[in-house]
A and B are shown apart, each in its own frame.
Chain A
């Protein structure tokens, strides 16, 4: 990740500063579920990245489980267009 060095690497618009990076890291930290428990004190960046990876993996797993559940539900039910309209209205 040599782009972290704000030197000649950046051909485009902005130079990457440490402040920018720490700002993004703190934003990422705010998204993590752990951040709601803590006092939002700054975690080290590596910890934030690690937790981010773990969180994304867990979200992927959740989506996979939900997909399986939805596919089972789809297999058993026969959905007419009227039923689909009802379901759509229930979702809104």
Chain B
């Protein structure tokens, strides 16, 4: 009725105002799913993500600065943490960036939920589980789908590889996997753009601040 048409118009207007880019030709309106890769190209989401990214890596910096040996417990672990500080920090940065990316996805995609959920699980259970499990039961008999003859197993194999690459998508059916992959790729591209911009800004700031004597603020 009139209410639905007006609400649809409002949604459309909001979306077009959000898009703000040159070729926003998404008049197809993929449905209410909103798993459109184009939403990762807006300036708004880039700014939101950059801000979250900055906060996240600042936390990483302060987190690694605090005596991690207290949390590690054993002296050996503390020594190991100090020795491997650099790769640990970059991994922490990577994980923080991924988490910020998943948050920016607003939880509508499998991969974003998997990233946010896996953090706690990975810290505790998965480490032990990985030591126990010999290998994931990947022997799903690649010759099972008799659909299109010799083409099917290759496709299934590649789909499985793709499912392993996109977080949280190992058991998704094929169409959902493709949709997740396209959204994930768009999100990763935005992540690269934002991290590159941040690295440029930081290197400029640190270069200028080291050039001039910075007074303690």
Question: A residues touching B (Cβ–Cβ < 8 Å)?
Answer: 1-5, 16, 20-21, 24-25, 27-28, 31, 45-46, 49-50, 52-53, 55-57, 59-60, 62-64, 66-77, 79-80, 82-84, 86-88, 90-92
Contact of A70 among B173, B188, B199 (CB under 8 A): B199
Question: Could you count the A-B residue pairs with CB atoms below 8 Å apart for me: how many are there?
Answer: 163
Whether the pair A87, B182 counts as a contact (CB closer than 8 A) is no
A5 to B175, CA, bound (A): 12
Question: B residues touching A (Cβ–Cβ < 8 Å)?
Answer: 37, 47, 50-51, 54, 57-58, 60-61, 86, 89-94, 97-98, 144-145, 147, 151, 154-156, 158-159, 161-162, 165-166, 173-175, 178-179, 181-182, 184-186, 188-189, 191-192, 194-199, 201-203, 205-206, 209, 217
Whether the pair B165, A67 counts as a contact (CB closer than 8 A) is no
A74 to B198, CA, bound (A): 11
Whether the pair B90, A24 counts as a contact (CB closer than 8 A) is no
- Contacts A63-B192, A64-B90 supplied; 19 other A-B pairs, CB < 8 Å: A1-B174, A21-B174, A24-B178, A28-B178, A28-B181, A28-B185, A31-B182, A49-B159, A56-B165, A56-B185, A59-B188, A63-B97, A63-B188, A66-B199, A67-B91, A72-B86, A72-B90, A86-B205, A88-B51
7 nearest interchain CB pairs? A3-B173, A49-B158, A67-B94, A24-B178, A71-B89, A66-B195, A68-B90
- A46-B158, A92-B47 are known contacts. Are A77 and B188 too (CB-CB below 8 A)? no
- A16-B175, A49-B155, A67-B195 are known contacts. Are A31 and B97 too (CB-CB below 8 A)? no
In the complex, the chain B residue whose C-beta lies closest to that of A91 is B50
